[in-house]
Amino acid sequence: MSSEGIQKCARCSYKGASTTFPIKKNGSGYTKTCQKCISNIQAAKDPNKENSAPSNNKAVPLDSEPPLPSQPPSTVTLDQCLELISNNKNEAFELDVFVVLPEDMWRARGGGFHGFGNAVRDKIAEASDYHWNQKKTRRGAGSSVITYHCAQLEGDERKPRLHDDPKKRRGRVKMPRFNCGGSLLLTIPDGRNLPIRIRIEHDEAHPHYTDISIPSEVQELIRSMKGSTPSDIWAEILKRYGTPEYNQDQVYAHWSHINEAVWRLADDQVLSARRVLDRAAGREVEIIPLTAETGISTIAFAFKEVLDGYGSETAEIAMDSTWKTNAASYELFGFFGEANGQSLPLGFIFTTMTDGSAKPGAKERMLTETLTWLSKRCPNIEWTLSDKDPSEINACRKAINKKHQLCYWHATRYIEERLAEDKLPAAYDPRKAHAVFAFIDPTWAPGVTRGPVAEYLDGRDVEKGGDMQGGTRRELNSILQTPPPTARPPLLIMKAGDRRIPIWPSPPPLRGAGLPAFCPAAFRATIKQKYTIHFHQHPEIPFDEKGTHFTASEIHEGAVLDMYSFCREHDLAQVWAYLWNCWYSPPQWPLWARSAAPGIPRLKTTMVSEAQWKVIKHQDLATFNRPRLDLVIHVLINRLLPRVRVTLANLLGARRKTRASAPNDWQNDFRAAWLDMSKSDEQRNVERQLEVLRTSKKMKGRSERLAELEAEATRPNGKYHTDVTRWTCSCPAYLISRFLLCKHLVRTANTHIPNFNPQTNLAFFAALRRNHFPPFYNIPALQPKPLPAEDPTEETPVPVTQRKILQTLSYNIISKDTTPESVPEADEIELEDGLAREEDKGDDNEVAAEGDEEETDFDFGDEDSEVESFDGYRNARGSSVSIQRFRKFLPRALCGGSKFEKPRKFMKIQIIPNHSFRLTKDVSLPRKLVHFKKTSLG
C-alpha cells in the first residue's frame, strides 16, 4: 500500500492516511489498527501500567519525555541517532527508534545481509565507544533481526581454547567484564529504503571498550610491505601512526597470515617443507637423496649456485648442528665451506628421531650418505672440521677419507671441564701404551679406574647406541674398583683343572671423600698450555733458532713425552690415563693434531658455522615465534641464500669489476694485527697496560694481567728462525697465531717490501690469501723472482718459478730394463693454462702393484744444480699412481702453474733442475722412468 493512500482501521470506523497508523515492529510497513485502538488494547491488558514508574535498575530512555506505551518509536535520521547515542554514552541508557539510512549505506547492502548489519553496528560502536559482538540472527517473513551483545558483558566471554598438553597451556590476561545487560537489536526490513529499527539497552555506564584490532588502512600497509620483515613494518607503522593500541605481535600475526600462502603448502609442516623444496629444486637448491630408514626423518638439500660456482674450489668444510630452530623439533645440521677466510653455506639437513625405532648408527649413516654426495660436488676437499660428536667424526672419516680436524675451541673447553671434574678415568693399560712408546712405564697406572667404560673426548661416558640421536646417558651411581693391568707379576696363580687364574694384589676399595682429586687446580693451566702447543705443532713450522723441522711422528712422540713426563713428575696417573685414552693415543691423535696432515688448514674452530647460526637464529628467525619447518626452509632459501650470492660473487670477481677490491673481514683483522706488530715492543706494552688500567679495579684478574705485562716488559728477547720466503718463524707467538703471523715476520717484511706502508696500502692486504703450504702467503717482493727465459731451442727444463706455459712437451716412457737407445719416439702433450690435454694416451696407463718401490726416478735433463721441494698429497686411495694421472699434473708443476697446489697427488716432490725429480714417501708408484724434453716455450 502506498504511504499516501487512505486506510481504514480494522477495529473501528476511523479512516485516514496510512502514515497516521503505527509502524509495525519489524519495520516492514504500517499496522492495520489505528493508534487509539492499539492504546485501548494495551490498557485493557495492564490497567496500572500507565501510572507505573520506571524501575530503578532500568535505564531511562533517551527521549526528553518518556513516551506513552501506546506511542510508536520515533523515526530519525542516522546522524540524529548517532548524535543521541554519543551525547549519552557515559550514562546508562535505552533507545528504541526507527532510523532512515542514507542511500550510500543501502548500496553497500550488496555485500550481504550480515555485512550490512555489521556496517550499521560499527557506526553505533564508534558513537557509543562500546564494542558489540554478534550473537544470533532471526529471519522473518518481511524482515530479519540481528542481536548483538556488549563485548564487556559478564558471562558472555568465549571459552579459551586449551592445548592438549597441560604443560604447554599459557596464562592470559582477561578483559574486565560488567553486568551491564548491554544488547543491540537491528530489525532490517527486506524492502529497500525502509527505516530500520534500532533497539539498544545498556544498564551500566562502565569503562569504554578499547579497540586493539588493526585498522583497515594499517592492514593494507602490511599487505603492501609483505616482503619486509615484521620489525621493519612495525617501525613504519610507528612512524606513520604514532603509538597505536595494537602491538607488534598482532602485526606479526597478520603479516604471517598474509605470507602463509607462499610457504604453507600443506597443513602438515613436514609435508609442506618438502613441497617448498620441490618448488625450488633445480633453481635455488638441489635435494640430496637419502636412503629412508625406519625411526628417522630427514630433509636434506644444498645450495645449487654455491656448489656450481665454488664447489671445486672448496678444500675445507666444517660441519655443525643446532637446535630450537623450528616447531617440529628437528635438529638442523649445516655444512659450510671455507672460501678465502669466509664461510659459504653448502647444504643443510633437518633430522629427528620419530618413534624410537631407529637402528643404532642411523644418524651416522645419514651424515655419511650426505657427505658422500657433497664430496662428489666438492671433489677437492682435504680437511673436515667438527666438534666432538662421534657420529659427525665417523661420518667425515668414512665419506671423505682426508684429515679430520677437531675444533680447537671445543677441544680446550672439553679438557678444562674434564680436569675440573672429580671423576675416575676409564680403564688404562700401561702395557699397551708402552708398546707404542718405550719411555712409558708399563707399571705406572692409576690405582682406581671405572673399568672398561668408553669415554667421549670431553670425558662423558659413551651410551648404548651412543651415535643414536636422543640416547640416554647412563649415570654411574657407584664407583667400582678394577685392579689396573700392569707388568708386575701376580700375587699367586690359582689352578682349576687345565686353567690358571692369575691373582694380582688389589688395594682397598675407596669411595666418596676417600678418593684423591682427579687433577688439582694448580696443574690445569699447565696441562692446557702444553696441549695448545701440541695442537699447533707442524712439520712445516721450525722448532728452534736453527730452523729444525720435526716429522709428524717425531712431533707425536715429543708431545706424548712432554705430557707424560709432566704427569709422572706430579703423580697425575688418573689425568694421564684420561689424556692417553681420549687424546694422545695413536687412534685419537690424528683427530686433533695439526701435524697429522702435510698441510695446515685455514679453519681451526667451528666459528664459521657458529657465526652462521647466530645470523640465522637471531636475525632471520628472530621475528618468528616457534616457526614451522616449512617456514624455516623458506627463510633459508629467500633470506640466507641472497646474502650467500653476494659473497660468492665477490669470490668469483663478478662484482665491482672495474673497481679495486676492498679487504674482507679476515683481511681487515690481519691488517689490524700487522699494524699492531709493526709497533715497537715498548709501545705495544704501554698500550696494553693502559687498556687494562682503563678497566674497573674490581675486574677479575686485573692485577694478574698487569703483573704479566710488567714481567713481559723486562723479559729478554729470544732468538728465533725467521724465514720470510716461506713465511715461517719458530717463535711461540707464530705457532698459535690465527693468521700464522708474528712480529718478527712483520718487521722483516716492512723493511724488505719497497715503498710499503701498511697503514694506507689496502690493496696489499686485499690480495692476500692463506696457502696450505709454505710460503703461507704469496708476497712477490719476498719470494724469489722468476729466472729469465732462455733460448727455447736449448734442452733445459723450465724453472718452477717461471710462470710460462709450455706449449708442447715430449716425453718417453722408459722401463728400468730399457736402454736410452731403444726409447721409442715421444708422445706429445699440449698444455693450455697449465693443464695437460693428452693427444695420444698410449698404452702406458698401468698402475703399479702394492709393494713396488717407494722411490721412482724421472730423468728429464742434464746434471747438477740445487734441489727445490714441493709438498703435496697422496692420491685418493693412498696407494699407487698411474702414469696417466702422473703426466696430467706434473707438467703444471714444470710450468710453474699458479694452481699447482690444488691437484697434488703425491706426498713429496723433489725437483732437481737440469737433472731429475724424485717422488718419495709411503706410496706405491709405477716402476717407470720418464724422460722429459722441452721443445718450445710460449
User: Are 692 and 751 found together in one domain?
Assistant: yes
Alpha helices in 31-112 (DSSP H): 35-45, 78-87, 103-107
Q: Is the pLDDT reported for residue 351 higher than 70? A: yes
User: Are 728 and 842 found together in one domain?
Assistant: no
What's the CATH code of the domain at 47? 3.30.60
User: Which band of pLDDT confidence, cut at 50, 70 and 90, is reported for residue 346?
Assistant: very high
Q: Is the pLDDT reported for residue 800 higher than 50? A: no
Grid cell digits, residue 98: 526507527
Residue 422, Cα to own-chain centre: how many angstroms?
34
Q: What is the pLDDT of residue 218?
A: 93
Residue 406 to residue 413: CA distance in whole angstroms: 12
Q: What are phi and psi of 383, to 5 degrees?
A: -135, 140
Q: Is the pLDDT reported for residue 446 higher than 70? A: yes
User: Are 699 and 725 found together in one domain?
Assistant: yes
- Produce one character per residue of 12-24: b if its CB has 16 or more CB atoms within 10 Å, e if not: eebeeebeebbbb
**Helix (H), strand (E) counts: the chain:** 27, 27
Going by C-alpha positions, the residue among 310, 308, 307, 302 that lies closest to residue 286 is 302
Work out the number of other CB atoms within 10 angstroms of the CB of residue 902.
Answer: 16
Q: Which amino acid is at 451?
A: G
Q: What is the pLDDT of residue 425?
A: 85
Grid cell digits, residue 736: 698459535
pLDDT in tens, 37-46: 888 887 777 6
Average pLDDT over residues 135-164: 85
Tell me whether residue 798 is in a domain: no
Q: What is the pLDDT of residue 108?
A: 62
Helix (H, G, I), strand (E, B) or coil at 494: strand
Residue 328 to residue 75: CA distance in whole angstroms: 60
Q: What is the pLDDT of residue 380?
A: 94
CB 269 within 8 A of CB 327: yes
| Whether the model pTM is above 0.75 | no
User: Are 547 and 448 found together in one domain?
Assistant: yes
Q: Is the pLDDT reported for residue 390 higher than 60? A: yes
Q: What is the pLDDT of residue 452?
A: 66
Residue 283 to residue 44: CA distance in whole angstroms: 86
Q: What is the pLDDT of residue 798?
A: 38
Work out the number of other CB atoms within 10 angstroms of the CB of residue 742.
Answer: 23
Residue 820 or 135, more confident? 135
Residue 612 to residue 634: CA distance in whole angstroms: 16
Q: What is the pLDDT of residue 782?
A: 87
C-alpha torsion sign, points 280, 285, 288, 294: negative
Tell me whether residue 772 is in a domain: no
Grid cell digits, residue 151: 563485548
User: Are 251 and 274 found together in one domain?
Assistant: no
Work out the number of other CB atoms within 10 angstroms of the CB of residue 502.
Answer: 10
Q: What is the pLDDT of residue 416?
A: 93
Q: Is the pLDDT reported for residue 883 higher than 90? A: no
pLDDT in tens, 279-302: 999 999 999 999 999 999 999 999
Q: Which amino acid is at 25?
A: K
Please state, rounded to an integer, the average pLDDT across all residues of the chain.
76
Tell me whether residue 658 is in a domain: no
Helix (H, G, I), strand (E, B) or coil at 395: helix
User: Are 344 and 249 found together in one domain?
Assistant: no
Count the domains in the chain: 7
Going by C-alpha positions, the residue among 754, 772, 756 that lies closest to residue 764 is 756
Going by C-alpha positions, the residue among 595, 594, 612 that lies closest to residue 603 is 594
CB 634 within 8 A of CB 263: yes
- Produce one character per residue of 763-784: b if its CB has 16 or more CB atoms within 10 Å, e if not: ebbeebebbbebebbebeebee
Residues shown for the chain: 938
Helix (H, G, I), strand (E, B) or coil at 54: coil
User: Are 635 and 733 found together in one domain?
Assistant: no
Residue 194 to residue 27: CA distance in whole angstroms: 7
User: Which band of pLDDT confidence, cut at 50, 70 and 90, is reported for residue 626?
Assistant: confident
Q: Is the pLDDT reported for residue 893 higher than 60? A: no
Q: Write the DSSP symbol of residue 823.
A: P
Q: What is the pLDDT of residue 870?
A: 34
pLDDT in tens, 154-185: 888 887 778 788 877 777 788 888 888 899 99
Range of the structural domain that residue 754 is part of: 667-766
User: Which band of pLDDT confidence, cut at 50, 70 and 90, is reported for residue 919?
Assistant: very low
Tell me whether residue 384 is in a domain: yes
Distant-in-sequence, close-in-space partners of 217: CB < 8 Å, separation ≥ 6 = none
Q: Which residue has the cell 724453472?
A: 799
User: Are 39 and 66 found together in one domain?
Assistant: no
Q: Is the pLDDT reported for residue 600 higher than 60? A: yes
CB 366 within 8 A of CB 352: no
Tell me whether residue 93 is in a domain: yes
Q: Are strands 183-189 and 143-150 parallel, antiparallel or unpaired?
A: antiparallel
Q: Is the pLDDT reported for residue 490 higher than 70? A: no
User: Which band of pLDDT confidence, cut at 50, 70 and 90, is reported for residue 272?
Assistant: very high
Going across the sheet that includes 93-100, the strands are 74-77, 93-100, 196-202, 183-189, 143-150, 132-139
Q: Is the pLDDT reported for residue 329 higher than 80? A: yes
Q: Is the pLDDT reported for residue 639 higher than 80? A: yes
Lowest mean pLDDT among 224-233, 293-302, 502-511: 502-511
In 377-498 the beta strands, taken as DSSP E runs, fall at 383-386, 403-406, 492-496
Q: Are strands 383-386 and 316-322 parallel, antiparallel or unpaired?
A: parallel
Tell me whether residue 674 is in a domain: yes
Going by C-alpha positions, the residue among 92, 96, 99 that lies closest to residue 117 is 99
Q: What are phi and psi of 454, to 5 degrees?
A: -75, 140
CB 430 within 8 A of CB 440: yes
Tell me whether residue 406 is in a domain: no
Residue 719 to residue 713: CA distance in whole angstroms: 16
Residue 251 to residue 237: CA distance in whole angstroms: 9
User: Are 911 and 926 found together in one domain?
Assistant: yes
Q: Is the pLDDT reported for residue 71 higher than 80? A: no
Full DSSP string of 665-708? HHHHHHHHHHHHHHS-HHHHHHHHHHHHHTS-TTSTTHHHHHHH
Going by C-alpha positions, the residue among 634, 637, 597, 635 that lies closest to residue 619 is 635
Q: What is the pLDDT of residue 453?
A: 64
Q: Which amino acid is at 167?
A: K
Q: Are strands 383-386 and 403-406 parallel, antiparallel or unpaired?
A: parallel
Q: What is the pLDDT of residue 288?
A: 96
Tell me whether residue 169 is in a domain: no
Compute CA distances 167 → 163, 170, 323, 355, 668, whole Å. 9, 8, 20, 21, 49
Q: What is the pLDDT of residue 656?
A: 83
Average pLDDT over residues 774-786: 85
Full DSSP string of 322-360? E--SSTT--EEEEEEEEETTEEEEEEEEEEEE-SS-PPT
User: Are 71 and 39 found together in one domain?
Assistant: no
Residue 644 to residue 241: CA distance in whole angstroms: 36
pLDDT in tens, 696-744: 888 888 888 888 888 888 888 889 999 999 999 999 999 999 999 999 9
Residue 938 to residue 802: CA distance in whole angstroms: 12
User: Are 287 and 243 found together in one domain?
Assistant: no
User: Are 828 and 932 found together in one domain?
Assistant: yes
Grid cell digits, residue 759: 697503514
Q: Is the pLDDT reported for residue 814 higher than 60? A: no
Q: Is the pLDDT reported for residue 767 higher than 80? A: yes
Residue 437 to residue 430: CA distance in whole angstroms: 10
Beta bridge pairs of residue 30: 23
Going across the sheet that includes 835-838, the strands are 835-838, 827-832, 808-814, 929-936
Q: Is the pLDDT reported for residue 771 higher than 80? A: yes
